[in-house]
Amino acid sequence: MSFILKFILSAIVTYLLATFLPGAYIRGFTDAMILVVVLAILNAVVKPILQIIGLPITILTLGLFLFVINALIIMLASYLMAGFEISGFLSALLFSVVLSLATSVVDMVVD
């Protein structure tokens, strides 16, 4: 039951962020639910590969390069989805940081 609640709350947060943050556009709530699934798949498959490739840079930047990897994942999701658009790298970076913080709050509240 908590999985479904987390999924719905994450979709609501994603929809609200894309509505209010500059440079992000989402067509509707169903696209927000699809975006949550796409981001979960990309975080499970692509993100570990990017982390391994970017490990030396991540060490040199004391972990700050992980923000860049998260922004790249958001930009890749924007490329894969027709109903979600990000206007640039800074918008993707802002979206990924705020989305990470918001989903952390959702996880703490639901658990």
Asked if residue 34 lies in contact with residue 17, where contact means CB atoms within 8 angstroms, the answer is: no
Q: What is the pLDDT of residue 78?
A: 96
Q: What is the residue-averaged pLDDT of the chain?
A: 95
Q: Give the model's confidence band at 2: pLDDT under 50 very low, under 70 low, under 90 confident, else very high.
A: confident
The CA radius of gyration of the chain, in Å to the nearest whole number, is: 14
Q: pLDDT tens across 8-33, in order?
A: 999 999 999 999 999 999 999 999 99
Name which of 1-5, 67-71, 91-95 the model is least confident about: 1-5
Q: What is the pTM of this model?
A: 0.92
Q: What is the pLDDT of residue 15?
A: 96
Asked if residue 42 lies in contact with residue 77, where contact means CB atoms within 8 angstroms, the answer is: yes
> What's the rounded Cα separation, in Å, for the pair 110 and 5?
8
